[in-house]
Homo-oligomer: A and B are copies of this chain.
Amino acid sequence: MSPYDPSAHPPFAVTVDLVVLTVRQHALCALTVRRGEPPFQGRWALPGGFVRPDENLAEAAARELAEETGLRAQQPAPATSGAPGPYGTGGAHLEQLATYGDPQRDPRMRVVSVAHLVLAPDLPAPRAGGDARSARWAPVDDLLQAEGGAPEEEQRAQLAFDHARILADGVERARSKIEYSSLATAFCPPEFTVGELRRVYEAVWGVALDPRNFHRKVTGTPGFLVPAGGTTTRQGGRPAQLFRAGGATLLNPPMLRPEL
């Protein structure tokens, strides 16, 4: 077989799917949209859509993100290559996750989907997308525990296509990445307190962390947090110092996730 023979390549559709995560009310939540047409009509799915001929994968993901959530998505910085990696999206973090291309993953045709991971602060309004499809935030625990041999009720809660696995992979990526990077700040507003950042870690990992050790760790890591100058009392209790994300992206040594 000769590689790159244009007449030989089978027809593929290429899409981007989005795992958009945020932390709301102490729970890690993912954005889901309700499907308006078969297959999986009425079921929830991850937002996504086709890659257009003139855009790269990151641009397609940013465009879909803007269309589905209204999240302002700045263009991926240099865009000189299709390489993965984080690109700024006006507050939200966007990076390529993985690609899913099982022949049977879409019953209608051969679809290869390049999944992207988005980490966003809790949005003021979880508005639906411009194309009138309804959207909602759902706790990832609810979305994922519906897997396995389950009664009919849970059947309806299951995500369409292979989106449950994509979501699981995205959640795992987020869980491991906040260990060794400053990515947890992507879940926070521009200014936040140490306690708010700690609650992000607790929600993403599903564990309780010691406030004192956490405070020592994050304030003691150079470049992780920079004081923003004010204090806030929005959490109740003693006023807390406000911080902004520092320039450092890598945490060394990493934040340790408690066992079990």
Contact of A11 with B10 in the complex, beta carbons under 8 Å = no
A79-117 interface (Cβ within 8 A of B): 81-84, 96, 98-103, 105-106, 108-110, 112, 114
A82 to B131 CA separation, bound complex (whole angstroms): 29
Contact of A49 with B3 in the complex, beta carbons under 8 Å = yes
CB A228 to nearest CB in B, in angstroms, measures 30
Chain A interface residue count, Cβ-Cβ cutoff 8 angstroms: 46
Contacts of A11 in B (CB 8 A): 11
A129-168 interface (Cβ within 8 A of B): 131, 162, 165-166
Contacts of A6 in B (CB 8 A): 13, 108-109
Per DSSP, chain A at the interface is loop
- Report the stretch among A53-61, A205-213, A238-246 that lies at the interface: A53-61
Instruction: Report if A169 contacts B (CB, 8 A).
Output: yes
Contact of B84 with A101 in the complex, beta carbons under 8 Å = no
Please give me the residue from chain B that is nearest to A51 by CB atom: B101
A81 to B163 CA separation, bound complex (whole angstroms): 11
Contact of B13 with A9 in the complex, beta carbons under 8 Å = yes
CB A166 to nearest CB in B, in angstroms, measures 8
| Chain A interface residues (CB < 8 Å from chain B) | 1, 3-4, 6, 8-15, 37, 48-57, 81-84, 96, 98-103, 105-106, 108-110, 112, 114, 131, 162, 165-166, 169
